[in-house]
Amino acid sequence: MARPSSKAVASKAKAKPSAKAPAKAKAVAKPVYVLNGPNLNLLGSREPHIYGSTTLAAIEKQVAARAKSLGLAVICHQSNHEGELIDWIQEARTMGSGVVINAGAYSHTSIAIHDALATLDIPVVEVHISNVYKREAFRHHSMISPVATGVICGLGVVGYDLALEAIKSKL
Ligand code: DQA
């Protein structure tokens, strides 16, 4: 009978792991929370000359694909309600590895979102699809920027992908 090659023996050994070998616990990476605020559910049809024609569903698909290529997990949420956004930010304190947030108009007004973000110990990237500094004066101030790690503004929907890359670089 032909002697099995050492390769064949090795692969046989691999196929039968010792019963004593400890099972390796698979580390589950915490997801990056991608949060979108009021009126961003209307992307695609909302003022396309300012925000473009990409829908939120398409952005979330694009973000999930970019995250996968970066080896990150993501959770995407959108709400028109300040409190719901705050609940997700609080969830990210313990469950998340980072936050990407486009808080829409709340960016300019919400002390409560500022305070929630200030509690985080993980990277936070503020995103704006439009260049808010080219627009009305009331958009020039952000309540969120002082508690964000960084801000991406005016680059269109690619800003979400860039935000993920920035988070990855901080982890
Ligand atoms: C926005 C800019 C905000 O001023 C505006 O209220 C939005 C969208 C942006 O993505 O450009 O809703 O955050």
Per-domain boundaries in the chain:
29-170
CA of 65 to the centre of ligand 1 (A): 23
Ligand 1 atom with the shortest distance to the CA of 106: 6
Question: What is the CATH superfamily name and number for domain 29-170?
Answer: Dehydroquinase, class II (3.40.50.9100)
> Probe ligand 1: pick from 129, 141, 157, 158, max atoms within 8 Å of CB?
129
Instruction: Specify the pTM.
Output: 0.85
Is 77 designated active site?
Answer: no
Each residue's pLDDT tens digit in the chain (171 positions)?
334 333 333 333 444 444 555 566 666 689 999 999 999 999 999 999 999 999 999 999 999 999 999 999 999 999 999 999 999 999 999 999 999 999 999 999 999 999 999 999 999 999 999 999 999 999 999 999 999 999 999 999 999 999 999 999 999
Q: What is the 3-state secondary structure (H, E, C) of the chain?
A: CCCCCHHHHHHHHHHCCCCCCCCCCCCCCCCEEEEECCCHHHCCCCCHHHHCCCCHHHHHHHHHHHHHHHCCCEEEEECCCHHHHHHHHHHHHHHCCEEEEECCCHHHHCHHHHHHHHCCCCCEEEEECCCHHHCCHHHCCCCCHHHCCEEEECCCCHHHHHHHHHHHHHC
